[in-house]
Each structure stands twice: as structure tokens, then as C-alpha cells.
Amino acid sequence: MIFRRLTFWLILALAAMFIILPLRGNNAALREDLILVAIAVTLVSNLNLMIGYTGYVNFGHIVFYGLGGYIGLYLVSERHWNLFLSAFVAGVLVSLVALLFGLGILRLRGAYFALATIGVLVAVNGFVANFNPWGRSTGMYLSFDAYQPLGGPMRALWTTYYLIIGVMALSLILSLAIKRSKFGLGLFAIREDEDAAVVLGINATVYKAIIYSISAFLPAIAGALMFYKNGMIDPSIAFEYMLSLEGIVMLMLGGQGTVVGAALGAGLYERLRSFLLTSPKLSNFHLVIAGGLLLLVVLFASGGIIGWLYRLLPRSREVIE
Amino acid sequence: MSGIMASMIDGLMVGSVYGLAAMGLSLIWGVMDVINLTHGAMIALGMFGMYLLFHAVAMNPYVLLLPVLAIGLMLGILVYWMSVHRVVGQPPLMSLLSTFSVNMMVIGIGTALWSTSPYNVNFSLRGVTVGAYTFTGNHIAATGAAVIIALGLQMFLYHTRPGKAIRAVADNREAAELMGISSTMVLTVAFGIGIALAMVSGALVSTLFPFTILSGAGYQLKSFVVTILAGLGKPFGALLAGVLLGLLEGAVTPFIAVSWIPLIEFGLFVVVLIFFPRGIFGRATA
């Protein structure tokens, strides 16, 4: 049972910490910092389902987040749905879109798939930037009235914060649950040797399409919540290529294929990034540093921080997953 | 009707430059099974290399292609030893990520140096006027340069010993090593040539259109499409496929907004990958 895993309780403790910390003194600045970390953890742990579990690189993971944001914001502002329903519908719709894409491009193997995901990003970005109901390249804005159902902008910010923490915790629990399931074992088999997995009776195409679709669900909800909180969206912030790429750096840094590694990498890198971006001398070089970090991890420590821990203390494998 | 013809001829000329960029990608991919994600960054570096050289010496930019080629070759060898050598033969994830990290560093440094504002190489040759349409001299010269370089590569690969060694390693690395070919040497040179081609195509683009440090990404996507169209490891096929893509772009641009083009190219990319995995020129290779 998942409740008997230490990692499960670690995840709950993390979520509790995220909720309690900014409450002390109504600390809005800390809340804004933590919300970025929570979004990063959500994106990276879902990206991990593709890269770490299945061995398929997705360069366009941000598409799910951005599309979720667009659908969520459209439903809230143009159709006047409530936030909860909008976010949930955004998640479902984006998952369905991912399933459709997935059935097409997941027939491609390995590197070809990775290239196709760059194409998905370009294509979706191109489509949204030309799509009239979504405001083309200027995007959409939310009027202040949209925050009234949640008790005004002030209350709404806190509510979305808690919801995003919830989505973060769900992402990590989902990762853990998949890792401990038979479905997860199938994914790992595909990662190790897809031909052998097929011979052993795993329907690789279906498995891959399902995990691609699952990895879209929570990021889309996170996107809907986040862009509701920000009150605006346009193609360049919704489909920020760099964020998609930095997600891969975070995952590799923490340790691909591990639940804790995804969270750790996301947290560490997000803090590093905030530090670099706000430092006047280094802000221009944050990409250089991120690239250098990725190169070092790929060349010399392909397991990331958690992989290094596993090598140092082989027994930690049992506890930290 | 003649407007479409003119647009297609223009596309054909730009397409030869796409083809040149794709030749580099295809060469690296075919020889060492590495998908070079630094390609876009190198194309952008070629643009800025041309810009800097042109402003330093103010010569005809088509003469400056030679130093750009040489710089590209050296840079390629450096990148190979820095990031690629250790991951050749590993799962694709590793080489994708390692070349990609170099891409991030180059773009990061480029953005810090030149920001993301547009630049252009201020040079134009006299054009040729046919009826109501004028084809600029730069387009014609760039096409000529692209074709000459492509033919040069073809000659090198098929009629010189180092070129034959590259093809041997691409065919079967182990057998080539047994014949006394140093595969490390060959991989280094092949990567260097691939990057040199990327930079030279970037340099050619810089004489045609304004550019920013981020422009490389679009041409990288086109290079992927062209490489897939041509089928892997067929550098000369890549040139033809590039011309074909340019022709296609030329044929559709009079009718739709330019921002739709990436969408069309991506659609083409996926369709070709799924239905013609060996490329449109591909027969079942032995």
C-alpha cells in the first residue's frame, strides 16, 4: 500500500510545510516564492513520468501548462464558469488533446519522438497565436469581477495558492503511485528495452499514449489556476520555451526516474533561478549556468542528486523513491 | 499566376540555404547517431559571425564565407570534445540533453552579448529583373554559394580518403575500425564539418534577412523537417529536400499568414516520419 511508503508521508509533510509557512504573518512575498516552486515541482514531476519512467524526452511539456491556462482563463472570463470547474475541465480537455497527439507521435521511437515534441510546441504556439477567440498574440485579460466568487482578489489569491499546493502534492502522489504499480513496471520495461517489453506482452503504444495523456492532466490544472491568479495570459508566457527546457534541467539535476529527485531538483533549481535572475551581475547568465549544470550532470552524474545518494548509500533506495 | 511563380523561385533559392543547414544536421546524425540540438544555436552564431566579420573588414560577404567555414570547423571540434564524445553510443536521451545544454549556453552568452534585438548585414548585390519581378542579387549569390558548398561536400565524401572514411564509419563503425580507420578522428571531423555547414548557412541567411540570436531555432526546425524528408545520412538528398521545402513555402506564402508556416512544417514533419520513415527519396537501403 502506498500509505506504508515513507515517501508518501514526506510528500504530505512537504505540502503541510508549504501551507503553514506563508501563513505566519500573512507573508505574501514568501507565498509568491513558494507558488513558483510548487508550479515547478508539478511540471517536473509530471515530466518525470515521460522522461524518467518511460525514457521518452518531451521538449514541449509546457504546452500542457499553457493550454490548460488558456482553456481555464477562457472558461472563467468568457463563459463565467467557476474556477474549480474550469480548472478541472481544462485538465480533462488537455489530457484528451494529449491522448490524440500521443496516438500520432508516439508511434515514433526515441529521438524522433523528442523532435516531434519540439514540433508540438511550435505548432500549438502557432495555432494559439492565430486563434481569434483567444485573443491571438495579445492574449486574454481577466476582469476584477472574476475574483468575486472567491471573495475578492485578496482571498482568491490565497485560495488559488492552496489549490496549487494541492495539485503539487497530487502530482507527487501520482508519481509515487505509478511507480509502485504494475502499469509503472510496464513503463520502466519500455524505458529499458522497448522491443523486449513488447515481446513480453506490453502494448507499448497504448502505455505510452496513456502516460503522455496522464502527464498532461495536472500541469493543465496548474496552468489554469496559475493564469487565473495572474489574471492574464498570452502565447509568449503560456508557452515559454525556456521554462519547458529548464524543466528538463531540474529533472536531471534532482534525479530522473525518482519521485523525490523530481521535487528536489525543481525546488533547488527554482531557488537558484530566482537568485540568479534578481542578482544584477548574473541575471544575463542564468541560461549559461543552467546549461553548464545540465552538461555536467549529463556527462558525469546521469543519476542526478538522488542517483548520487543511491550510489553513496545503496540502502537509501528502499526508503527514498 | 506569375506572382506565385516568382514567389516559388524565391522560395527555391532560400530553400537551398535550408538544405545546406540540413546537410550538416544529416551528416552528424548519420555518422554518429547524435541529433545535434546545438544546430540552431550554431546557425545563429554563423549569422553573428558574418555580421562581426563584415563590420570588421567590410569585404564582400560571400568571400567571408571561407573564414566562417574555418571558424565553424574549429568550433565544431571543440563542441565535440566538450559535450559529444562521452555520449556517442549512449541512449539518445543523453546526447539530446548534452547537445541541448551547449545550445542553452550559446544562446545564453549570445543573449548577454547582443540581446535579442534584430541585426542585419547591410549589403546588397544588384538583382535581376524579369517582367514585374526583381530577384535580389543576394538571393542569387546565396543560392550559388549553397550549391557550390554542397557540391564540395559531395566531392569530399565520395572522392577523398577522409570522406570515404566518414562514410565507412557511418555504415558500420566496428568494421571501419577493423580496417584501420580511427573512428574517434572521423567522428571529430564529421562533427566539425556539420557545425561548419550550420554556421555557413547561418552566414548566408544573414545576407538575406534580419536576424536575432534566437532566429536559429526556426531554421533548426526546418533542418529537422528537411533531414527527415530526405532520409537520414543522405547529405545531397538534404539539399534537394531543402529546395523542395523552400519551394513549398514559396507556393503557400502568397495565400496564408506567415505565422502559420511553422504549423504546416510541423504537420509535414510528422506525416513524413509516420508514412515515409526512410524519407521521400529513400529506397530500402541494404
What is the ipTM score, two decimals? Answer: 0.82
Q: Which of B264, B266, B276 to mutate to test the interface with A (most CBs of A within 10 A)?
A: B266
**Which of B87, B102, B104, B273 to probe by mutation at the A interface, max A CB count within 10 Å?**
B104
Could you tell me if B33 and B221 are in contact, meaning their C-beta atoms sit under 8 angstroms apart? no
Instruction: Kindly state the helix (H) or strand (E) to which residue B22 belongs, with its residue range.
Output: helix B2-32
| Burial class for B152, CB neighbours closer than 10 Å (0-12, 13-18, 19+) | exposed
More confident residue, A9 or A218: A218
Burial class of residue B255, CB neighbours in 10 A (0-12, 13-18, 19+): exposed
Q: Do A295 and B105 touch (CB under 8 A)?
A: yes
Residues of chain A with Cβ-Cβ distance to B265 below 8 Å are 119
Residues of A in contact with B262 (CB under 8 A): 122-123, 125-126
Q: Which residue of B has its CA nearest to A243?
A: B104
> Which residues of chain A are within 8 Å of residue B231 when distances are taken between CB atoms?
none
Amino acid A216: pLDDT: 93
Residue A313 located in a structural domain: no
Q: How many CA atoms lie within 13 A of A148 on its CB side?
A: 7
B107: nearest CB among A57, A118, A287:
A287
Min Cα separation B108/chain A (Å):
5
Mean pLDDT, residues A18-37 = 82
A51 touches B: beta carbon within 8 Å: yes
Mean of pLDDT values over A48-74: 90
Write out chain A residues lying below 8 Å of B228, CB-based. 115
Helix, strand or coil, per DSSP, at residue A247: helix
Q: Inter-chain contact A116–B100, Cβ cutoff 8 Å?
A: no
B89 touches chain A (CB under 8 A): no
How many CB atoms sit inside 10 A of residue B115's CB? Answer: 12
| pTM reported for the whole predicted model | 0.83
Beta strands in chain A (DSSP E): 140-141, 232-233
B221 CB neighbours in chain A (<8 A) are 118-119, 122
For an interface test with B, give the residue of A252, A286, A298 to mutate (most B CBs within 10 A).
Answer: A298
Binned at pLDDT 50, 70 and 90, residue A42 comes out as very high
State which residues of chain B have pLDDT below 50: 284-286
Q: Is A274 exposed, middle or buried (0-12, 13-18, 19+ CB in 10 A)?
A: middle
**Average pLDDT value for residue range A156-176:** 90
What's the confidence (pLDDT) of residue B1?
A: 61
Partners of residue B26 in chain A, C-beta under 8 Å: none
Q: What is the largest CA-CA distance in chain B?
A: 61
Confirm if B16 and B145 have CB atoms less than 8 A apart: no
- Give the angle B129-B130-B132 at the CA atoms, nearest 5°: 90
- φ, ψ of residue A77 to 5 degrees: the values are -90, -35
Q: What would the grid cell of residue A162 be?
A: 492552496
The stretch A198-212 carries a mean pLDDT of 89
Quick one: which of B84, B43, B89 has its CA closest to B219? B43
Domains located in chain B, CATH noted: 2-275 (1.10.3470)
Nearest to B65 by CA among B108, B99, B17: B17
Question: Is residue A309 domain-resident?
Answer: no
Comparing CB atoms, the residue among B35, B98, B259 nearest residue A115 is: B35
Considering the domain boundaries, does residue A127 fall inside one?
A: yes
CB contacts under 8 A, A 107-126 vs B, are 107-108, 110-112, 114-116, 118-120, 122-123, 125-126
Which of A188-192, A281-285, B67-71 comes out lowest in average pLDDT? Answer: A281-285
Closest-CA residue of B relative to A287 is: B108
CB distance B263–A115 less than 8 Å? no
Q: Do A55 and B274 touch (CB under 8 A)?
A: no
A41 burial class (0-12, 13-18, 19+ CB within 10 angstroms)? buried
Residue with cell 478541472: A88
- Answer yes or no: do B101 and A298 touch at CB < 8 A: yes
**Residue A296 is assigned to a structural domain of this protein:** no
**Is residue A102, in this structure, part of any structural domain at all?**
yes
Q: Does A154 touch chain B (CB under 8 A)?
A: no
Region of residue B180 (phi > 0: left; psi between -120 and 50: alpha; otherwise: beta): left
Number of domains in chain A: 1
For the segment A17-44, the average pLDDT, to the nearest whole number, is 84
Residue A143 corresponds to which cell in the numbers above? 476582469
Contact A292 B105 (CB under 8 A): yes
Domain extent for A178 = 2-241
| pLDDT, position B48 | 93
Measured between CB atoms, which of A114, A118, A249 is closest to B221?
A: A118
The sign of the torsion formed by the CA atoms of B261, A123, A121, A125 equals positive
d(CA A312, CA A298): 18
3-class DSSP assignment, residue A54: helix
Contact A119 B102 (CB under 8 A): no
- Does A302 map to a domain? no
Q: Evaluate whether residue A290 is within a structural domain.
A: no
Backbone angles phi, psi at A258, to 5 degrees: -115, 145
Summarize the confidence of residues A242-266 as an average pLDDT: 87
- A98 versus A138: which is more confidently predicted? A98
DSSP state of A52: I
User: Which three three-digit cell numbers place residue A237?
Assistant: 508566457
Say if residue B175 is exposed, middle or buried (CB neighbours under 10 Å; 0-12, 13-18, 19+): exposed
Instruction: Name the DSSP class of A181.
Output: S
Using CB atoms, pick whichever of A123, A249, A292 lies closest to residue B266.
A123
